[in-house]
Structure 1
């Protein structure tokens, strides 16, 4: 079964989040996802508010840039959310956009090493372990959480390049792929993830894959989608994004699911005229068409 989500785009002001959460909760949306893009909105603060404002909504953050975050602090925040809202949170970490990391003086010489070290520390701390490590970037001396979650939660990682995607299979509990990923790209990512899992001896556990999908509906859907892809420099990429009615969007979701996506998160255009209406469209019209 494919889970459906929608992104709350941080191009919307933070004060719009509550209405989006209420719309998602009322409509029965499975998952609402948030971003921590520089220099828009905090992923953790937004997630905490969204969880508190809703009754059943699952909230994902995809993703938190690790160069911005000390591993111990990120894990404390994650543990707090998991204890306050057990079973309703998915947190993903990743390299972050390197130009943005440079702007704040946090650009790592080896983003891959940093992500590997951060994932190792975060997963161990969330599992209740006491951690001492002297890595290139992550250094902890006898650190343990006083309030770890009751059971170790999954930590996802976002990735795009092949080495990073392979690392998510080796060191993370799930993978987040951005909206530049075609169905063929999902298949290739699954292959790389499985390579990493074999290297780490982790083939006995499931490894969920979350994929974002550009989506637009309404009378100007095609034009808005083309403009969005053009802004990303990806206009004309075959198999990327979907515009139209519920049937069209559901077909795009099914193509990604057949390629290996466990969760498809529909990403409206930054200029979506009715974000709450988009949520209702996804739940009421697209959802029944997706197995």
Structure 2
């Protein structure tokens, strides 16, 4: 993904069968099942989450190691590079639709379903729930089953996290400039700054969740507002964490001199992913926290 050899274009490298997709599947299953058990206070959820995290870490290390080894051994040519680029295009496209579905759900719930259940519009009728229901947002659910919650404000940790992510996009671009100019010091410093800002973002989001649970009574049981809040911000936080892991791998490769000003698609792919995560956060900040 960063170097090309002089192999004739008729040659196209096909890797050996790999165990990593299966390990990734089991890791994700353990993580999701464990999280569901923890949320419902059932059994050994912590064990499954820990197992899933370890399997995921092992999978990422092993898969990255294999791909880098294939690249450095001269197996890749321009055709393989083109395949990697097309794969990354489609991966990011799938991520766009993934988050679009959740933003669409938020829009539908907030602007159509809740007002309709509250009696708005010619089809509106509060009798579907109970006569005292009002279509206010945020809602804690029918009969306020979610309890007396306080919405998460925008001008605290969320605003700080916005500054952190936007700054990380700038430092990553700075690192890319250094790579194009063959300046390894700028490349490494920019990557270190980007990783630091990304990890700070994750840390502040964890603190935000603790604050929401302990002081705002904003939990996954806080009606549809709590559900949409955590599914949007939680999945985004997972993407930032994964992006930081990939940036750490890119930092290690950069320090070993694996990239050149002409051939560095691995860096570009992670940069595309990171900038996509930045854009998604801007949408979250506007539509989840501000509006």
Q: TM-score range by the shorter chain?
A: under 0.3
TM-score relative to the length of structure 1: 0.22
Judging by fraction of residues, say which structure has more helix. 2
Structure of greater Rg: 2
* Larger fraction in strand: 1
